[in-house]
Amino acid sequence: MDWSVLMFLHMVGTLAVGFYLVLPFVLGRTEKLSASAREGTMNVVGSLNRLAQYGLGIQLLTGGYLMAKGDDYSLAWKIIVPVLLLAMFAVGGMMAKPLRLAAAGFRDNGNVAAETGKVKTLSALLAVLLLVMVFLMVYNDII
């Protein structure tokens, strides 16, 4: 497969995963919204989380191929970056249920403090994981 096509697909995956960088800031502003707006926000964030999970899949496939073809990565880098990617898969998947429960709770006027707290914590963790992974990709000679 052509190198430029793979890089293009890898960048498309990066754009989808970039959602995780802005997510903590979006969720930080939801406290000022009405209950119906919060429900809508949680539904949209759930849909975008699913899109970002597809982006992670693209990253895994294209990045794995690019990493296998590249010879300027250390063994530690080849282990740490995929582990970070898999951790992002796991945390993004764990965030789906609290998002769904929070949206349902806002719809039913229930107490959703626990769910929104989990979503905010997991979104912050996703942002940190993504920042560390991007840092290691840019500065791949550190490890």
Read off the DSSP letter of residue 70: -
pTM over 0.85: yes
Alpha carbons 75 and 24: distance in angstroms, whole number: 32
- pLDDT (0 to 100) of residue 1: 62
Q: Where are the domains of the chain?
A: 3-138
β strands within the chain, DSSP E: none
Residue among 140, 109, 116 nearest 45 (CA): 116
Residue 119 contacts residue 95 (beta carbons within 8 Å): yes
Residue among 1, 135, 12 nearest 68 (CA): 1
- pLDDT (0 to 100) of residue 49: 94
Q: DSSP 3-state helix, strand, coil percentages of the chain (rounded to 5)?
A: 85, 0, 15
127, exposed or middle or buried, with CB in 10 Å at 0-12, 13-18, 19+?
middle
26, exposed or middle or buried, with CB in 10 Å at 0-12, 13-18, 19+?
middle
pLDDT above 80 for 4: yes
Read off the DSSP letter of residue 109: T
Tens digit of each residue's pLDDT (9 = 90 or more) over 6-65: 889 999 999 999 999 999 999 988 888 888 898 899 999 999 999 999 999 999 999 988
Query: Is residue 73 within a helix (H) or strand (E), and if so which, with residue range?
Result: none
